[in-house]
């Protein structure tokens, strides 16, 4: 029985760090295990321009614990007023690794997002020409569409037509949550990949709704049926290079989660690697964990894999993670996978 594995140091290809006191409170948990992360730009106000990204990156670096080895990979928030020249300059100067498409109203702080995809074609065509990836929150926001169907409808109405119009645009469909999404990404011949979160490999919609409403399992895109979770597990553990880790770790202070209209987001940064080792071992795929967390993502983004290694050790007794962490912005509940976790990153 394997009780120790060494893998290339991983990266997180979808991460929310927030800002201010929350940033300072949560950043150390990612920096402890991950070498790089794609940083989401949905602040208030959002990170739209090259100057915005430089300023936010400066704040992140200032919040890093002393001695931490971590590189934030910045993204720009796509709006219908985004300037193609500014976007291209941010990419060319190494300021922004990608642009993020939020359909307006789809998730936290997305009100400034895109309502009419045709209004951003010029930006997207410029991105395709310079090889800049587009990260996509893949849900429609039409209130007539059931929330559990919004990913599948987005593929049909927005993503597939976009890929046919601009086939050279490199797209990362973030936090895939459905078998529809898995099948669509897997069937693409080029320029499409998908990230999968830790929590969507572990929970289905029963975690949110069965036995009472449990807000700390509520995220967007919302967790789906068990059949979709199993499709995600199969994709993540398959070794298919189109799929890789993007945790979508998204901290909110508990009072913002535990109210009549609570925020969407699950904070998984402290125990993601432990949970993933459990999942991959359970599915007989520990030998493919490194590809999912450390190799496939850099290959998609045209970056080298990290040179350093980490070791995961399986302990006899379960690892005790805190129920919550304290930040200057308030307490933040840590994701509970609802099973004992025995894998730990060796320090």
Q: Which residues are catalytic?
A: 248
Asked if residues 194 and 182 have their Cβ atoms less than 8 Å apart, the reply is yes
CA distance 82 to 62: 27
Asked if residues 332 and 252 have their Cβ atoms less than 8 Å apart, the reply is yes
Q: What is the CA radius of gyration of the chain?
A: 19
Q: Which residues 6+ apart lie within 8 Å of 16 measured at CB?
A: 39, 40, 42, 108, 248, 249, 250, 251, 265
CA atoms within 13 A on the CB side of 257: 24
Residue 72 dihedral angles phi and psi, to the nearest 5°: -80, 130
Closest CA to 329 of 15, 16, 24, 17: 24
Q: Both tokens of residue 61?
A: 């670096």
Residue 16 dihedral angles phi and psi, to the nearest 5°: -105, 125
């Amino acid at each position: 029985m394997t009780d120790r594995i060494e893998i290339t140091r991983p990266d997180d290809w979808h991460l929310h760090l927030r800002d201010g006191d929350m940033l300072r409170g949560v950043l150390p948990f990612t920096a402890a295990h991950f070498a790089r992360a794609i940083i989401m730009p949905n602040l208030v106000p959002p990170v739209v321009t090259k100057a915005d990204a430089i300023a936010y990156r400066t704040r992140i670096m200032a919040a890093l614990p002393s001695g931490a080895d971590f590189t934030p990979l910045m993204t720009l928030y796509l709006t219908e007023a985004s300037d193609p020249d500014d976007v291209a300059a941010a990419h060319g100067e190494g300021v922004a690794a990608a642009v993020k498409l939020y359909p307006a109203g789809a998730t936290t702080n997305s009100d400034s997002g895109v309502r009419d995809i045709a209004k951003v074609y010029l930006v997207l065509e410029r991105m395709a020409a310079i090889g800049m990836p587009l990260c996509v929150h893949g849900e429609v926001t039409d209130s007539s569409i059931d929330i559990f169907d919004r990913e599948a409808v987005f593929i049909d109405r927005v993503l597939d037509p976009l890929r046919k119009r601009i086939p050279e645009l490199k797209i990362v469909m973030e936090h895939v949550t459905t078998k529809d999404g898995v099948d669509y990404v897997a069937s693409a011949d080029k320029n499409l990949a998908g990230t999968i979160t830790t929590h969507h490999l572990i929970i289905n919609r029963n975690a949110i709704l069965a036995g009472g409403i449990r807000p700390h399992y509520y995220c967007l895109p919302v967790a789906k049926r068990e059949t979709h979770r199993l499709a995600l597990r199969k994709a993540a553990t398959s070794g298919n290079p189109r799929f890789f880790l993007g945790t979508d770790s998204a901290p909110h202070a508990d009072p913002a989660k535990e109210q009549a209209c609570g925020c969407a987001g699950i904070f998984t940064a402290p125990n993601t690697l432990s949970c993933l080792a459990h999942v991959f071992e359970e599915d007989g795929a520990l030998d493919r964990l490194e590809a999912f967390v450390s190799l496939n993502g850099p290959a998609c983004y045209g970056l080298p894999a990290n040179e350093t290694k980490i070791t995961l050790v399986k302990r006899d007794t379960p690892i005790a993670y805190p129920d919550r962490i304290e930040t200057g912005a308030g307490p933040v509940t840590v994701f509970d996978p609802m099973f004992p976790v025995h894998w730990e990153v060796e320090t």
